[in-house]
Copies of this chain bind each other. A is one copy, B any other.
Amino acid sequence: MNSFTAENYLKALFTTSNESEEVTVNELSKQLNIKMPTVTSMMKKLAEKKLVYYESYKPLRLTAKGKKEASRIIRKHRLTEMFLTQQMGFGWEDVHAIAEQVEHIQSREFFEKMDELLGYPRFDPHGSPIPDKNGKIERKNFNKLSECKAGEQVILAAVINTSVEFLKSLNRRDLKLGLQLKIKSISPADKTMEVSYGKRKSEKFSHVVCEQLLIENILKKA
């Protein structure tokens, strides 16, 4: 089995799995844009390699080995995204497509060097955590901006939607991770939020947009 192919299945299994760490053949098929019979047959092969648990008609689950392998790939992807923005000057909207390719490079040294040059970052340019070398992922419980109340002050910590269009729309409004946002008001009609940040004193964000933005509460000094 081509490592490229297997890696893409593992990554999809990892990122698509719900809280119970399960994925259905159907979900995976849609995610990868590969027909179900192909997925089934690949799952059998990955099961032989002890990377997934596979039983007919049951949801799929990564084994510990599979999880480790998957997070190794996600680590490479996210380190690459970080490298592309921090060291090469790409915008956060441009890095995904390139990282999808770079993540398959087989060279421990290459990614270790990136990590070192970046100062061992813990989050990628979209705020997603970078798994450590053992596959451990820092789980921060960020809340959605849409769940905040008027008057709150929060910090933009991550974006859920990482599509080029969405990120470009955020660029147009000078929105970046780390910015402090102040919620001035929320429209009762459609939940549109009026927010101020940086030099922008009054920006309106639709509810749909607010659901794609993850925030961190500002730490209170003891």
Contacts and interface: CB of A to CB of B under 8 A. Distances in A.
Interface of A: 84, 87-90, 94, 97-98, 101-102, 104-107, 109-110, 113-114, 117
Contact of A106 (B84, B87, B101, B113): B101
Nearest to A114: B88
Contact of A105 (B94, B101, B109, B117): B101
Contacts of A107: 97-98, 101
Nearest 10 pairs of A and B residues by beta carbon: A101-B105, A98-B107, A88-B113, A98-B110, A102-B105, A89-B113, A88-B117, A101-B106, A94-B109, A90-B113
21 contacts: A84-B110, A87-B87, A88-B113, A88-B114, A88-B117, A89-B113, A89-B117, A90-B109, A90-B113, A94-B109, A97-B107, A98-B105, A98-B107, A98-B109, A98-B110, A101-B104, A101-B105, A101-B106, A101-B107, A102-B102, A102-B105
Oligomeric state, in copies: 2
A120 to B, nearest CB: 15
Given A88-B117, A94-B109, 12 more contacts: A84-B110, A88-B113, A89-B117, A90-B113, A97-B107, A98-B105, A98-B109, A101-B105, A101-B106, A101-B107, A102-B102, A102-B105
Contacts of A117: 88-89
Contacts of A104: 101
A102 B105 CA distance: 7
Contacts of A106: 101
Contacts of A101: 104-107
A67 to B, nearest CB: 25
A171 to B, nearest CB: 16
